[in-house]
Structure 1
Amino acid sequence: MYTLLIVYASWYPFTGWRDMGLQPWDYLWARLPYYWTGFDLWTNIVGYAPFGAFTVFALYPRIRSYWAVILSTIAGIALSVVMEGVQTYLPTRIPSNLDLITNSCGTLLGALLGAWTGRYFLRESRLLELRRRWFSREASRGLVVIGLWPLALIYPQNHLFGLGHLVPPLSSLLSDLLDTPIDLATWWTNSAQLTAEQYWLAEIIVTACGLTGAILTMLLLLRKQAPRNALTAFYLLAAVFIKSLACALFFAPENAFVWLTPGAAGGIIIGGLMLAGLSFAPPTAQRRIAGLALIFSLLATNAVPANPYFVSTLQTWVQGKFLNFDGAAQFLSVLWPFLALWFLYHPVHRKAAAPK
């Protein structure tokens, strides 16, 4: 999943592909760029460091110590070479050997950190013991899914927890295919006008269903002896914290809680009441209700026209130096509901998580 995010951030916005008469490896022998900033350097290092650490963890226990560091670093260098080389065919991107150097340094730093912390996370870790005690043995894929949910909330949504908004990316895709500007959101807004009360009700429904689907997906991974209430509260608070931090960073510090509208607050309350009862339901019922809640939230998110307040708010979304991160955040925001549904309805996952 992290590799996929690197690919998306490196090649975003995936439009305007053309051959400019350069070879994809010419940047390797070019002179180092004259203009660069410390922010760019640290972004590349920090962006590739988790890749190095995750690769070391993934190789364990077959490959350990310095061999894991070497292989992880080679993998990071190879990935960066491909990412930079393909940028040769994107007019909006510039391949850079300085980026390759900083990406490689980030991978090496992350690999060294992963090798140093491996015994704390993989062999003698209290977190690993809690993982075995609180979560089911087959919960690994589910942990990836629920771990991405708070990150998917970074990008602004029409409604709180209303992930999977397909209208903007579909408009962009159709515009590229037909070579003419197409805005599905404008067409839908002109054909369906809602009152303020209807917008408020739609936000309550989407928020409640999105919250219920995500939390029930997390509860499906827990064993009976796990502190369900504490983990649920921590999970929800972590999502709220990341959402507020993103709003403060990309809008303004005073807008950290701009997402807490009356409709969102009502949806959180209703979703909490639903979860209070559903937390005692059998796992099979939880799985089905979680899937239905996510499907209903997905349908409502794409069926309800964008709130004019949300449209004006999105116009103040500051991309700036985070332009590539903005594309990755939007991609994750659209992808997450489908990833969760894949986990909930896949036969292998249903069979593995079935009570013994």
Structure 2
Amino acid sequence: MQRDQSAAYPLALLYAALIAYASLFPFTGWRDQGIVPWAYLWAPLPQYWTRFDVGGNLLGYMPLGFLWTLAWLTGRPRWRAAVWASLAAALQSLVLECLQSYLPLRVASNLDLALNAAGGATGALAALALDRLGVMARWQRFRAAWFVRESRGALVLLMLWPVGLLFPPPVAFGLGQVLERLERVLAEWLQDTPWTGRLPLRDMDLQPLLPGAEAVCVALGALVPCLLAYTVVQRRWPRALMAASALLVGVLVSALSAGLSYGPLYAWSWISRPVEWGLLSAVGAVLVLIRLPARACVGLLILALVVQLAVLNAAPQSPYFAATLQSWERGRFIHFNGLAQWVGWLWPFGALAYLASRMGRTGYGARRQWT
């Protein structure tokens, strides 16, 4: 398994960043306690702990060890990948626990370090066992048969897309509505500074989306992951299966998010008439475009992302959605301390950057990717 072709390497980096985010959130109140940050290593074991704490620390690092091992399975002996992955997970936990010594809302713990290291080693051993059983080789053959040579960027984006939907968007599948919040944040940052009067002002207030515009946003939002899959899958039936899987996952994750945010009785409350029309339009477009060449899918995907972002950011956040944000920010639902919201905000822009980078490449590799 070559690292430059494997999606495990960027996924390991992203998961390591997720762990760092969750371990250091909310990143405020840094202070020096007058002790070395690694003093927790020889402190007595914590007197109070729960099964959830033990399980969370153990299970939280297992994917990290698993992904690092897959990313480094490049040579012989292959057990070295598991060793390096275990050490990388333990080192990250050591550094993060030291940094937690400077945060008032965090407690550095030698027990947490031991559990994190054990979780990383367990994940590494699981990856090594799957490789010995031939599972990784079968996955490589499957990937070579279904996807173009350099597809890891698209695969990582497809895996992150449902994460962005975990935080309920203001419009179904409407990721990337950032304009109003960005304006508010800039105004707060520049308040009482000479730059306050230089902020660009809109000519008119943002207007709520009409039902037709909402249906367009839903259709484009549901179509985007399908088109992204079409850019790295060339045969018709694999394309159909990928598109159907993306739409099904999107609907189920949206229902899960609504159910956990408002209660199980409201899991399907997000499906309105515009949403129904948007989903039906997306399904029709998926079928019509199933034979479209990958290069044409790239251009159409960029157009869909730009149009959806333009329409979505021309509308304000609804008061109902603002109330949802407040309930989430109070911690009613475990959402990675706001990380899912960040993924939802940034995912469309990351997809545009990825597509621009792929189109900007020249030579044989680029021709092979988009033919």
Shorter-chain TM-score range: 0.7 to 0.9
138-147 vs 302-311, greater mean Cα deviation? 302-311
Whether 2:136 is the aligned partner of 1:122: answer yes
**Does the CA contact (< 8 Å) of 2:260 and 2:333 recur in 1?**
no
Paired amino acid for 2:48: Y
The match for 2:53 is 40
The number of equivalent residue pairs is 343
Provide the TM-score with structure 1 as the length reference: 0.85
**Equivalent-residue separation in structure 1 for 2:182 and 2:103 (angstroms):** 19
Write the distance in 2 (CA, Å) between the matches of 1:324 and 1:88: 24
Deviation at 1:55, TM superposition (A): 1.1
Task: Find out whether 1:219 has 2:230 as its counterpart.
Answer: yes
TM-score of the pair, normalised by structure 2: 0.82
**SS at 2:166 equivalent:** coil
- Bigger shift: 146-155 or 114-123? 114-123
The whole-number CA distance in structure 2 between the counterparts of 1:261 and 1:84 is: 46
Matched, 1:104 2:117: yes
Aligned partners of 1:53 and 1:114 also within 8 Å: yes
Question: 1-side partners of 2:32 and 2:268: how far apart?
Answer: 45
Q: Residues 265 and 70 from structure 1, CA distance in 2 versus in 1: closer, same or farther, beyond 3 angstroms?
A: same
Is it true that 1:233 corresponds to 2:244 in the alignment?
Answer: yes
Partner Cα separation in structure 1 for residue 272 and residue 96 of structure 2? 40
How many angstroms does 1:324 deviate by? 6.5
Aligned pair 1:335/2:346, yes or no?
yes
Contact 2:166/2:335 (<8 A) preserved:
no
Distance 1:319 1:62 in 2: 47
Note if contact 2:223-2:285 (Cα within 8 Å) is conserved in structure 1.
yes
Gaps in structure 2 of 5+ consecutive residues: 1-13, 194-200
**Residue number among 97, 103, 110 corresponding to 1:84 in the alignment:** 97
**CA distances 1:283-332 after superposition (whole Å, capped 9, x unpaired):** 22211111121122223333310122322334444864865713221222
Q: CA deviation at 1:157?
A: 0.8
2:280 is aligned with 1:266: no
Go from structure 1 to structure 2 and tell me whether the alpha carbon gap of 1:260 and 1:115 turns closer, same or farther (over 3 Å shift).
Answer: same
- The question of 1:113 aligning with 2:129 is answered no
Q: 1:80 to 1:322 in 2, by over 3 A?
A: farther
Q: 1:1-356, aligned counterparts within 5 Å?
A: 1-118=14-131, 119-123=133-137, 125=138, 127-166=139-178, 167-168=180-181, 171=184, 175=188, 192=205, 194=207, 198-224=209-235, 226-317=237-328, 320=331, 325-346=336-357, 347-348=360-361, 351-355=367-371
Measured after TM superposition, the shift of residue 48 of structure 1 is 1.0
- Structure 1's unaligned 5+ residue stretches are 181-187
Q: What's the secondary structure of 1:153's corresponding residue?
A: helix
Structure 1 Cα separation of the partners of residues 304 and 366 of structure 2: 17
Identity within the alignment, %:
35
Structure 1 residues 149 and 122 mapped into 2: Cα distance closer, same or farther (>3 Å)?
same
Whether the 8 Å contact between 1:202 and 1:300 is mirrored in structure 2 is yes
In structure 2, relative to structure 1, the CA distance for the partners of 1:285 and 1:248 (3 Å cut) is: same
Worse overlay, 79-88 or 241-250: 241-250
2:196: which partner in 1? Answer: none
Partner Cα separation in structure 1 for residue 183 and residue 99 of structure 2: 24
Q: In 1, distance between residues paired with 2:210 and 2:342?
A: 25
Q: Which moved more, 1:98-107 or 1:30-39?
A: 30-39
Distance 1:20 1:303 in 2: 48
Letter in 2 for 1:81: L
- CA deviation after TM superposition for structure 1 residue 134, in Å: 1.2
